[in-house]
Structure 1
């Protein structure tokens, strides 16, 4: 049985897939990224890691195999144990083990397992159909500052106000003496029209300048409103405990497992030991496999659970692991 196929199927739906007696594959969601140096865009994905300390059977993989193969749960557990023996043998003989579509396991000089994930497979189902792409840089037109725009308008007005002189040869002047009186009357008319029209023209220029200034200010305000600020060192998230009027307890998603017992009396005994040591322990009801799980404690964030788990492994129980389930 090639259980790597079933592990890959579960990684699309769960954050932790445990291989009993061997370790657990963990999936963490990573948001979309932009590589500015190459203008490359990467879709959201799940990064896969391996934790050799999580070895207890949570029943997830065995149940999935039993349903897919249409067989019993006990047979699925036996098949997993057999495959784990083969993996361990191959890893110690070849110092490396390739798991299809998941990654590569290697043993270092200290016989510790190092995991290299397969970057070609994206286990984030929401990113189905999305691929990496490269987009060229956008060339934006350089907008003139407000002062330069006003200067251009004023320059245009000055050029339009410059008088145009036409030089007429003396010979032609003599021939057109009869038209001078009409020209004089026309010039006088122009002067009168200019004295009246120039103030109106100045008012029009002032109105256009005001419109330009208003448009510039509006664009500046839009740029400020559309701006996005990225904080290099974000403030850590604050977890608030809200008191509820209902008697139902707040469900937490992360739990450190102390063990699972067939006997309820043994589970209560272990619970009493943990309470005596100062842990906020809990005993869960019997699960579908007939066991009574005992918890060291429950947490609202994975970081808090991981921190306490490391301390528990060093001081109390090397086999402690994190259960991800809303309880």
Structure 2
């Protein structure tokens, strides 16, 4: 397996993979997008960029190669150096294509990187493919002129006079309606009077409650709510030690120097990892890492993991 395959494996789990003496491959999460020119919907993905200034060995790539191929860390470092020399030799006169990562060219003494578009390193988008939206064809309905229809024939109807007994019946019905209306008005008046009396009594009860004094002999204890702080997933690493006592000695040293150092745990290579400090955001961690590399230790590196 060539060096590009190891880097591709790590990009699924880490946001930055540094190739010593060459540069760092960095991934940034991008949301889904629609290409209006091709009517294509692209799922969320990780965009790959390259930074030629990240050349210090953080141990991530070498340790991964050593664990996969079951070789020593020194052999893995030598393998990386051999591959980088071959890359630089090829870039002198032709394009360097790294499968799954992209291509490199040299122009005007500068190294240019063009990322690939086929492999999606965002694990949450596994199985999602590009979707091409089919165009919707709308049917147009043409209005056709209709022939003029003849106007309907209206037949006049002669009005008939109502008999006299119907008039008397109507007057009787109106009288009954008036009597019913008066009875309903009287019932409504009684209901409103009873409602006013009930509201008055309710108001007196509320005044008594407001003026009353309540004495609680045994008050309830106060509740202490502890809000869990946000997890700090970005760690500036001071080193990884084979012997735990060396890791504890390093933590005590850093604490005496003012760092918020701690032991993060044991990694899969049975090394005890010690950090200068942990941060909630990537920007804070990178700022602290840059300051430590410039003033304290150039071999410090960034680890992104929840503990």
Unaligned regions of 5+ residues in structure 2, if any?
141-150, 163-225
Structure 1 residues 37 and 189: CA distance shift in structure 2, 3 A: farther
1:272-297 deviation per Cα after TM superposition (whole angstroms, max 9, x unaligned): 55434533222345545454433121
- Whether 2:68 is the aligned partner of 1:65: answer yes
Q: Return the offset for 1:57.
A: 1.3
Aligned to 1:283: 263
Q: How does 1:155-304 map to 2 (within 5 A)?
A: 187-189=157-159, 243-244=227-228, 252-261=232-241, 267-268=247-248, 270-285=250-265, 287-289=267-269, 291-304=271-284
Aligned to 1:30: 30
Aligned to 1:97: 96
1:87-106 deviation per Cα after TM superposition (whole angstroms, max 9, x unaligned): 34444x34853212211234
CA distance in 2, matches of 1:266, 1:165: 111
Counting matched residue pairs gives 229
Q: Return the offset for 1:300.
A: 2.4
Q: Return the offset for 1:4.
A: 1.6
Q: Return the offset for 1:263.
A: 5.9
Is the 2:236–2:275 Cα contact (8 Å) retained in structure 1? yes
Q: TM-score, normalised by structure 2?
A: 0.57
Q: Which has the higher helix share?
A: 1
CA distance in 1, matches of 2:233, 2:248: 23
Is the 1:12–1:123 Cα contact (8 Å) retained in structure 2? yes
Aligned to 2:8: 8
Structure 1 residues 288 and 165: CA distance shift in structure 2, 3 A: closer
CA distance in 1, matches of 2:107, 2:160: 98
CA RMSD of aligned residues (A): 4.2
Which has the higher Rg, Structure 1 or Structure 2?
2
- Whether 2:127 is the aligned partner of 1:128: answer yes
**DSSP 3-state at the match of 1:260:** strand
Aligned to 2:301: 321
1:101-148 deviation per Cα after TM superposition (whole angstroms, max 9, x unaligned): 21123456576x543211233223424351252454797x9xxxxxxx
1:155-184 deviation per Cα after TM superposition (whole angstroms, max 9, x unaligned): xxxxxxxx9788xxxxxxxxxxxxxxxx7x
Q: Return the offset for 1:312.
A: 3.1
Structure 1 residues 76 and 257: CA distance shift in structure 2, 3 A: same
Structure 1 residues 77 and 310: CA distance shift in structure 2, 3 A: closer
Structure 1 residues 292 and 12: CA distance shift in structure 2, 3 A: closer
Structure 1 residues 256 and 109: CA distance shift in structure 2, 3 A: farther
Q: Return the offset for 1:16.
A: 3.8
The worse-fitting range, judged by mean Cα deviation, of 120-129 and 40-49 is 120-129
CA distance in 1, matches of 2:268, 2:248: 19
Aligned to 2:115: 117
Q: TM-score, normalised by structure 1?
A: 0.54
